[in-house]
Structure 1
């Protein structure tokens, strides 16, 4: 109850928002469970089931939000109830596809305690990594919004639109590559990483080159003349997001080789660089974002080099346990 009061006072004395924030853990739990099962499907190479589940999830959430909105005549509660209901249906749909996860545990399988001891780095290092990424993403929005609320709107439209090709390309590549990376024997990882980088480069270079050239013309054409700046923000973000396509699949290499500490160290720098630039930049906001896009692209080049060095060291030392 004390927490509810603090939330109510902080969020404009909204009783409705207060209680929804208090039970936000429900949707976090559902998303976590869905993600866990999807990782199982990825590990088993069942990419068709993953694709079908994602289609079902998007459809279920949107449909439930629509139904809840019609019944409740719109509002925040309708959106949240529709989202939670859609996520719950998705989890039920997904669980029915993995009956093997509900069978009795193999007596020879490791216990939960043994798994916790073996993979203690996962929550200890991956958790802070996600937290740092959240600070970076929200911090960038806060700095741009502080400079201009209108610029933030234009930037967000460009960002969300440019995420579509990033998700389409890197999402499909990452799923297949994670399984191959997990099964890679020492001596085969570095060639595998180079092959995936080359394929991701070939898949992304043409669409991102076209976006860089045409974005200032496409955005006002598609979204209206008031969104002309979004096209220039999209052009500014193109180098960063192009490199994001290349790095997204191979970022799992630090997890597979149990070198999350390196990824966390990079994440801290990757967070500090853009926020420091946005804080100290003497340039107008548009030019600032152009420099930001180039800075982040250079940072991701550094990450590529780190990944290749990690793969070579894994190949040379002969396995995860020997990599330090």
Structure 2
């Protein structure tokens, strides 16, 4: 069985994927979408992370990027079972004790539903304005993940010593609801795949086409085997845009559309590659059309994913 989750609309509005209706949407729309995901069997809802967008990128990326901790905490209060994923948090921008305080509190408040997705980041100006070395962000991220493992573990007074961060004798409560908050690694570069293999509980590829995924998955598993890591690793994938049924409008040539059985047959190919969690995105002209699509997918497509 392949689980399915979704990146939330509204909270990030890059021109690559945002629909026109999102520009005038707000917290009420986010809450209702999360509620529908919660009762429709979605494994997770996800929220992105950017601190500030430079003017040179604003036309393409927009400056609408809700803070993931605040947004996921808001949605935790209106949902009961769906997991809450940061996809992805650029944790190298912040001291790991600060990140641990924020996400441990979130996990505590939501009853253990957090998945901490992390990534290296790509906007140089964000790093520069916060005084973080952009060129060394990969190495900083590696150490940050290790530090977060310590800081999000069961100890009230965690200990960590590294090149960039060291701490001991400093207590943090509340602790996470679980002593093993899963950390998923985002990105598709060779460095990101290696990071996911050696440090992650799961991998979140960033838009790899279907044809590239099998080799990426094989590389990740080979790296884990070489390192002697035997615990399971989750494998994610972002699918093509979807529209359940015959679309009455132009949803774009890359969108998968049609009868539920046909969509399920196409999506089952991800499971055959070794993917166990797909991230879906629906084309829509309004919040209502989006939630209708989510419900139709859960009722009519998802049952066929396990065949």
Larger-gyration structure (1/2): 1
Higher strand share: 2
TM-score for the superposition, normalised by structure 1: 0.23
TM-score for the superposition, normalised by structure 2: 0.24
